[in-house]
Structure 1
Amino acid sequence: MTTEDTIEGKVVKIISSKEIVINKGEDDGIEEDMEFIVFEIGDVIEDPDTGEALGNVEHVKARVKPKHIQNEITIMRSAEITTKKTGIYGITNAGETKKVTKSIADRPEDEVDDKVKEGDLVRQKL
């Protein structure tokens, strides 16, 4: 699949903390096994040596997969998995632990908004 064939759309409704609706569907080529990113366009990045604009940072907010595909819209469900400790204290301490991503840069939390909103961009993840 070439980049011309990449499906792009927008979030048109928030259903719950785990489900959204996008404005693309079966008529646009969406299939059950596809994965998408929800993102917003950030700052322009310039080459420090030439000053040339290299493009905008895409701030990825979520990864989603189709849950229910209709002709012109699709309900998407979060494709992000976290695990929590599942053991019951006193009976067993076994269980999975939550995976946490290590910080790679210092940036004030209030500058980055990870919440998906209506109007955010959606693109098929290739």
Structure 2
Amino acid sequence: MTDKTKNRATVSHVPDDYRAVINRGSLHGVKAGDVYLIYSIGPELFDPDTNESLGRLEEVRGRAKVTHVQEKIATLRSIEFEETHGSRKIIRRDSGIAMFGQQREEIEEGAKRVNLSLDAEVGDQAKLLSSA
């Protein structure tokens, strides 16, 4: 088995925004926990000074971890997250008693961690970043 076969794959199915299935599995050395970079092949770029080819641009879709391995395929799930700032909400309530006036209640929500989608498409490429 060559390094290229072991370390490179092609997306063969996209079940949802957060998962992708690649055409490599246990027969190719893929293991649960392996991390792959999912990318599409962009245009060929040229050096503006020499007009020499710089190669094709890798347009990154995301990073994903192998969650399930079969003989010839493996399922990957996005491992990229975005942290959102917490929010603060102030609620003013009339107590119903004139001498107490309005009461103020503050609610502060913590930061949220949101899983980012892969935006993967069938035919995109996957290369091994780290092995479990």
Band of TM-score, shorter chain? 0.7 to 0.9
Residue in 1 that maps onto 2:129: 125
CA RMSD of aligned residues (A): 2.8
Higher mean alpha-carbon deviation, 86-95 vs 9-18, is at 86-95
Deviation at 1:83, TM superposition (A): 2.6
The two structures have a TM-score, normalised by structure 1, of 0.72
Q: Aligned-pair distance for 1:87? A: 5.8
Identity %: 25
Contact 1:6-1:123 within 8 A present in 2 as well: no
CA distance in 2, matches of 1:63, 1:75: 13
CA contact (8 A) 2:83 2:111 kept: yes
Gaps of 5+ in 1: 100-113
Q: 1 or 2, which has the higher strand percentage?
A: 2
Task: Report which stretch shifted further, 87-96 or 50-59.
Answer: 87-96
Structure 2 gap ranges (5+): 91-105
What residue number does 1:92 align with? 107
Q: Which residue of 2 aligns with 1:42?
A: 42
Separation in structure 1 between the aligned mates of residue 122 and residue 11 of structure 2, nearest angstrom: 5
Contact 1:37 1:125 (C-alpha < 8 Å) held by counterparts: yes
The 2-side partners of 1:121 and 1:23 are apart by 10
Aligned to 2:22: 22
Please give the TM-score of this superposition, normalised by the length of structure 2: 0.69
State whether residues 10 and 124 of structure 2, in contact with CA within 8 Å, keep that contact through their aligned partners in structure 1: yes
Larger mean CA deviation between 55-64 and 115-124 belongs to 115-124
Counterpart Cα distance in 2 of 1:25 and 1:6: 9
